[in-house]
Structure 1
């Protein structure tokens, strides 16, 4: 099998000091199947046309070398050369939202000859909160809401957390009880917040209502899976007096062990994700009222947590992730006779 050229699409302005992409790509570059890694940032002005409509064949970036590392002002990304996307065998997506479903679909259709990790169509399918409805037995009670009346019906039974169908990073979460509505951390009475909640359905046709679990104070856990193999997990605790565990919302990460129940969750959902071309993903669990971990979220676009899982566990999580990604690429390449 020939060695492969890999194009990495990212946005360096969203990176932090602990971003896993730097160690991950260094590890991927050492694999025997890798001929080169060429990285392109959405925030470089030369790439605006490509990332805006994803139909341009030209991108501006740099080949990854031993000096590739995070810098506060993105100095490494300065300079670079122009290449054509069609020159590459593999496209590796490491971009955060906002990226529209239309952009993902255009990327898939325009560069159909390339292997794309994760598959853009698969990201759209599995990244939607609706995908969780296929696994109701693994999740807290939940229902798809299309109106304020749907929400009120669910909230009269038990407290719910409303999730935008295509939401990410804990943005836009709303908690509703019989008496109150919390817009993120801001609490209002249900009567005073009703108009604002109605507007949510004017901007978003549907939201997923999931039963609020009081044990959220014990943290939510991000479990990382690559190639159907669990590589590690990280427990994210909410800030004091908060019900939001996302790191972007002030949560703190710590070491955690994967439970037998979480292994069962991974075994159940992995085949459906793999079928959709998703090789690397993270899923989140919360503790229910009986002390059992239940599925609350699946992330398939730009999965974080590799570095934290490696540092907390002492295991070579990044190298294992790299090997699993290359194994997937190898299998697809053989199937496509690359």
Structure 2
């Protein structure tokens, strides 16, 4: 019998573009896989596992050929299949932000971390924006700023984007341009009056990064699995915007990684793979010299390859499943 795979999700955050359903189906069809189960954090019967950390038992949907996105979520209501975490061979984490470190510690204590993709401790390490400092040779100029004076000093050299260290989905990001602070909704404040607005200075500060004038050329998301690029998409901001966000008027289109980005992906893989990161998304922007530079990496609930499959007309979820299984076999011995 093949591997027993458990995918952990939160189905209430899903829409029809979520690629976990295609991934589950590719696992189901894979000759090395025996059974695939999907358990949701939003299933109240799983409260003891996800929230109370008092049980290793889960109610999970057993994937078959008809498993797909259901806008009603009813397939996760009153699930009859009861499984135990320790009966699984491989666990795939597809839980959304915010990152739940207490849960990650709980699951790591009760299941071999080397059999999880991505490994919880690796997600915690790479999920902090400061991790980019380990990759800064691929980034635009960056600096960790913990005081307003440090931000002012860095702004003497560059216009900036400030990112809270634990932010996600663009939350809390601001731009400092020619002495004016601007949030992602277009609200502007003179920098001289902005210190109180920068509330993360009271916590662990910001990762400050040079603002790149070529942002209009788009933010490219590249998905890398087991060191191999499986797909890419270009997110173009709305006219006049500096935010590459489809929900704020931008749009996405098919893209391909260039030679520099392929080298970048390989370099990042060599850093994160020993941390148990088998799949990551990396975002690149065009710098002032016309070359793509690293602006972000994502190792929690990496998706987007379902839409990429339609854009590229190639079986990307199948490639992802193949490479995740290969990564599991390489790391679980």
TM over 0.5: yes
Counterpart residue number, 1:328: 327
TM-score scaled to structure 1, two decimals? 0.93
- Once residues 151 and 48 of structure 2 are traced to their aligned partners in structure 1, the CA distance between those partners, rounded to angstroms, is 40
Counterpart residue number, 2:253: 254
Counterpart residue number, 1:32: 31
Q: Which runs of 4+ in 1 moved over 3 A?
A: 246-251
Structure 2: tracts of 5 or more residues without a match? none
CA-to-aligned-CA distance 1:291-316 (integer Å, 9 cap, x gap): 10001100001112202222221121
Residues 114, 65 of structure 1: alpha-carbon distance in 2 compared, 3 angstrom cutoff: farther
How far the C-alpha of 1:114 sits from its partner, in A, is: 6.9
Cα pair 1:310 1:317 within 8 Å, conserved: yes
Counterpart residue number, 2:150: 150
How far the C-alpha of 1:55 sits from its partner, in A, is: 4.5
Q: Is 1:215 aligned with 2:230?
A: no
RMSD of the alignment, in Å? 1.6
Q: Is 1:134 aligned with 2:138?
A: no
Counterpart residue number, 1:316: 315
Q: Is 1:20 aligned with 2:19?
A: yes
Secondary structure (helix, strand or coil) at the match of 1:59 reads strand
CA-to-aligned-CA distance 1:117-173 (integer Å, 9 cap, x gap): 100011111222111111221100000111222212112221111111122111111
Cα pair 2:113 2:119 within 8 Å, conserved: no
Counterpart residue number, 1:103: 103
Aligned length: 331
Residues 113, 216 of structure 1: alpha-carbon distance in 2 compared, 3 angstrom cutoff: closer
- Once residues 47 and 163 of structure 2 are traced to their aligned partners in structure 1, the CA distance between those partners, rounded to angstroms, is 30
- Once residues 274 and 246 of structure 1 are traced to their aligned partners in structure 2, the CA distance between those partners, rounded to angstroms, is 28
Secondary structure (helix, strand or coil) at the match of 2:5 reads strand
Q: Is 1:195 aligned with 2:183?
A: no
How far the C-alpha of 1:79 sits from its partner, in A, is: 2.2
Residues 155, 54 of structure 1: alpha-carbon distance in 2 compared, 3 angstrom cutoff: farther
Secondary structure (helix, strand or coil) at the match of 1:225 reads strand
TM-score scaled to structure 2, two decimals? 0.94
> What aligned pairs does 1:26-175 form with structure 2 within 5 A after superposition?
26-81=25-80, 82-112=82-112, 115-175=115-175
Structure 1: tracts of 5 or more residues without a match? none
Counterpart residue number, 1:278: 277
- Once residues 283 and 26 of structure 2 are traced to their aligned partners in structure 1, the CA distance between those partners, rounded to angstroms, is 26
- Once residues 218 and 38 of structure 1 are traced to their aligned partners in structure 2, the CA distance between those partners, rounded to angstroms, is 40
How far the C-alpha of 1:85 sits from its partner, in A, is: 1.3
> What aligned pairs does 1:223-242 form with structure 2 within 5 A after superposition?
223-242=222-241
- Once residues 86 and 32 of structure 2 are traced to their aligned partners in structure 1, the CA distance between those partners, rounded to angstroms, is 19
Cα pair 1:91 1:114 within 8 Å, conserved: no
- Once residues 250 and 168 of structure 1 are traced to their aligned partners in structure 2, the CA distance between those partners, rounded to angstroms, is 19
How far the C-alpha of 1:107 sits from its partner, in A, is: 1.9
Secondary structure (helix, strand or coil) at the match of 1:257 reads coil
CA-to-aligned-CA distance 1:206-239 (integer Å, 9 cap, x gap): 2100000011111100011011001111000112
Cα pair 1:169 1:246 within 8 Å, conserved: no
Secondary structure (helix, strand or coil) at the match of 1:242 reads coil
